[in-house]
Homo-oligomer: A and B are copies of this chain.
Amino acid sequence: MARPSPRIEIAHEALRQAIIEQALKPGTKLPEDVIGEQFAMSRTLVRAVLAKLEAEGLVDANPKRTATVAQPTLAEARDVFEVRRALEAEAVRLVAKRWQPAFADELDSLLRQEDEARARQDERVSIHLAGEFHLRLAQLSGNALLERYLRELITRCSLILAVFGRPHSSDCAIEEHSALITALRAGDADGAVAIMHSHLGAVERRALLGGDDEKPAALGDVLSHYAAAVTARQTTKPSKTANQK
């Protein structure tokens, strides 16, 4: 595993959290020196952090311009969900294969927390725990690489939800997680895989709001539409949304 320097890791984690919690909105500029100032580190280290975030698909970074919080396109979102479905099905398959009763307790515990958070309308915690459930499942697969990939995919899904999802959609239904545990506990591997498949299908549908047809849900597209009515000169780079300076 990579542990180049704790400081890099700290900043990386902090920024990742800020992005997936939507404290930093997609499109927000991330100048190196501003970040460096915040975390009391030089641009050299900030650069490493941004490189990691870019590799994870959480920031867009073009050659000579300021990095920004990523704005996934609809096509990218589809790709992410497609790969996630395949890998998470595999994860369930592996978990079923090496199933132990203790696993059920683990997952049940997460489920209960999730339920409570949902009950008290704590959206931030709720969203976080929904991801946590899937991540824990990946860990239980016993395949470290699979876990790494799924962590990345689950994180990106959070970002996708921020761009395409409607404001108050919770991405995971508790009953679906519950059904999965039941199937696993019963030793029904194929059933569990099927449940995960349909569950992720449902998550994707909830997240993307539309079918597989092209849908102009991107913030930039919407804004450019409105901007076009006012001034018909900005055709290429319309997204000039909130950023802090």
- With A44-B44, A143-B82 given, is the CB distance from A54 to B2 under 8 Å? yes
Q: Is the interface of A mostly helix, strand, loop or mixed?
A: helix
Write out the residue numbers on chain B whose beta carbons fall within 8 Å of the beta carbon of A51. Answer: 2, 4, 48, 51-52
Copies of the chain in the assembly: 2
- With A3-B63, A61-B4, A149-B149 given, is the CB distance from A143 to B54 under 8 Å? no
Q: Is A228 an interface residue (CB 8 A)?
A: no
A116 to chain B, nearest CB (A): 34
A90 to chain B, nearest CB (A): 4
A189 to chain B, nearest CB (A): 15
Q: Is A244 an interface residue (CB 8 A)?
A: no
A181 to chain B, nearest CB (A): 22
Write out the residue numbers on chain B whose beta carbons fall within 8 Å of the beta carbon of A3. Answer: 62-63
Q: Is A86 an interface residue (CB 8 A)?
A: yes
A243 to chain B, nearest CB (A): 21
Write out the residue numbers on chain B whose beta carbons fall within 8 Å of the beta carbon of A94. Answer: 82
Given the complex of chains A and B, what is the CA–CA distance between A44 and B55 in angstroms? 18
A-B contact pairs, 7 of them (CB 8 A): A2-B51, A2-B61, A48-B51, A51-B51, A52-B55, A76-B144, A82-B94
Interface, chain A (partner B; CB < 8 A): 2-5, 44, 47-48, 51-52, 54-55, 61-63, 75-76, 79-80, 82-83, 86-87, 89-90, 94, 143-146, 149
Given contacts A4-B51, A4-B61, 13 further A-B contacts (CB under 8 A): A2-B55, A44-B44, A47-B48, A52-B55, A79-B144, A79-B145, A82-B90, A82-B94, A82-B143, A83-B143, A86-B89, A87-B87, A149-B149
